[in-house]
Structure 1
Amino acid sequence: MRTIEECRGALDQLSENLAQANGDLRSAAALDRSLSCRITDLDVTFVGRLAQSRIQDVTTLPGPPPERAQIRLTMASDDLVALVEGRLNFARAWGSGRVKLEAGLRDLLRLRSLL
């Protein structure tokens, strides 16, 4: 199990990765949507905004998110870090249920190129 600080660092790294992306990846990340990332084993939720190809205004809240974000991720802390470090394939983790992604159909279609 990772710490809240390690998870926050992984989200910061993910934000940097999105900001440095080019072409279709950058276009897919150019959404303006509310975002939550629930870390089940730490019982915390990171909430923020995906805007300008970055994850912005991230705050940490205890427990489940108080409001439903437009893009919602749920996973264990080890899986978040492994995804960002490239040791865990998102599509496989999503398909097996290790990672949950919930969003509107249009957002899912745009986000698929990030997977």
Structure 2
Amino acid sequence: MATVDECRAALLKLADRLGSSAANGAREKLDFDRTLACRITDLDVAFHGRLNNGEITGLTDGDDPRAKIKLTSSSDDLVALVNGQLNVMSAWTSGRIKIDAGVMDLLKLRKLL
């Protein structure tokens, strides 16, 4: 099981990667602004922030029950997902991760993930 610090580092790594993509012209693919929350089931912790123009900003500890995009996973699956060791679509369809978002947001997120 990954630790809370490893999960936080994975989310910060994802934020950095998205920031780099946005800086390199991918920003137009993700032209939306949504609150997001990431819940880690086996550690009983959560993180939240904002996905804005292809970047994750304001990432902090704690849950946001009103977040428009919610990702739920185990700690190991989150780390594997961010490190490219776990395919998002197969993890989602097999139930290893849960993404709760509107249909249009899911279509936009597909470009990101």
Fold-level match, TM-score > 0.5? yes
The corresponding residue for 1:114 is 112
Which ranges in structure 2 are unaligned for 5 or more consecutive residues? Answer: none
Q: Which amino acid aligns with 1:39?
A: I
Check 1:4–1:45 CA distance in 2 against 1; reply closer, same or farther (3 A cut). Answer: same
Structure 1 residue 66: deviation in Å? Answer: 5.0
* TM-score (norm. length: structure 2): 0.89
Check 1:85–1:47 CA distance in 2 against 1; reply closer, same or farther (3 A cut). Answer: same
Q: Is the 8 A contact 1:18 1:29 kept in 2?
A: no
Q: Secondary structure at the match of 1:69?
A: coil
CA offset digits 1:16-41 (Å, max 9, x no partner)? 11112255x54344421000000000
% same residue: 54
C-alpha RMSD of matched pairs (Å): 1.6
The corresponding residue for 1:12 is 12
Residue 41 (structure 1) aligned with residue 39 (structure 2)? no
Q: Secondary structure at the match of 1:87?
A: coil
Q: Which amino acid aligns with 1:13?
A: K
Residue 70 (structure 1) aligned with residue 71 (structure 2)? no
Q: Which amino acid aligns with 2:65?
A: E
**How many residues align structurally?**
111
Moved more, 46-55 or 74-83: 46-55
CA–CA distance in structure 2, aligned partners of residues 114 and 38 of structure 1: 19
CA–CA distance in structure 1, aligned partners of residues 82 and 28 of structure 2: 19
Residue 3 (structure 1) aligned with residue 12 (structure 2)? no
Structure 1 residue 114: deviation in Å? Answer: 2.3
